[in-house]
Amino acid sequence: MKNFPEYWSVSVALRHLGDRWSLLIVRELLFGERGFNELSRALPDLSQNLLSQRLKKMLELGIITRSDSQVIRGTFSYRLTSSGYALADVLKSIGLWASHWQSPFEHDLKVGVHALLDNMSRTINTSVLPQKSLSICFNFETDSATGLQGWIFGQEGSFSAQLDEPNRGTDLHVEVNPQVLYELWWGIRKCEVAKKTGDIGFRGPDGWGEQMSSWFLPA
């Protein structure tokens, strides 16, 4: 990028945000204010030293702001500024491009599936769930693999995702290709259409399958 004239706006943006992690930090903060350790857990491949560097740079750029944590004394929490929130549409466009041209499940299916479920679990709209405690089992099948499962489960607004069966019963079973689920979450496909074409199936209480797409806020 050094050969790009600096007056090119794309060059300027990439100079500030073109590394691997900055936009991923922004994406985490789109879910709300986070502490340093919360960001570190959400991005396990990012070292804490590099996370500190990225946060410092983003503070200098005015993309995020920092305040004293209300939970642990002596620590800070981070949130997006108006400049940071303005990147939401950029991230959505990148995600839609990746969905169409670069499958997130092509290189490592398990990693891709876990990342998808983990991100979906953070967008659950608890106000429309059929019950306070909920466990959804996703049975994934692709051309190269069968039998891969993952769960989203939790209660009272605290949900998480994992590939191992949780220590509780399952309320809804979903049979779906991971790419189809990804596109449903992004709003590229409609759940009712995917069900009619046989791209998704449900086993559980009547009507829950049709309601499931409303349980998750758009990506």
Q: Which sequence spans correspond to the domains of the chain?
A: 9-88, 103-215
Class of domain 103-215: alpha beta
- Tell me what pLDDT residue 1 has: 46
* Nearest CA-CA partner of 138 in 155, 167, 118, 108: 118
Quote the CA–CA distance of 219 and 213 in Å, as a whole number.
12
Helix-, strand-, coil-residue percentages of the chain, each rounded to 5: 45, 20, 35
**CA 133 – CA 72 distance, rounded (Å):** 28
* pLDDT tens by residue, 140-197: 977 665 678 999 999 877 899 999 888 888 999 999 999 899 889 888 888 999 999 9
Q: Is the pLDDT of residue 120 over 70?
A: yes
What predicted TM-score, i.e. pTM, was given to this entire model?
A: 0.69
Q: What is the pLDDT of residues 81-104, one digit of tens each?
A: 999 999 999 988 887 787 777 766
Q: Which CATH number is 9-88 given?
A: 1.10.10.10
pLDDT in tens, 47-78: 999 999 999 999 999 999 998 766 555 578 99
Residues 161, 154: contact at Cβ < 8 Å? no
Mean pLDDT of the region 113-128: 89
Are the beta carbons of 111 and 180 closer than 8 angstroms? no
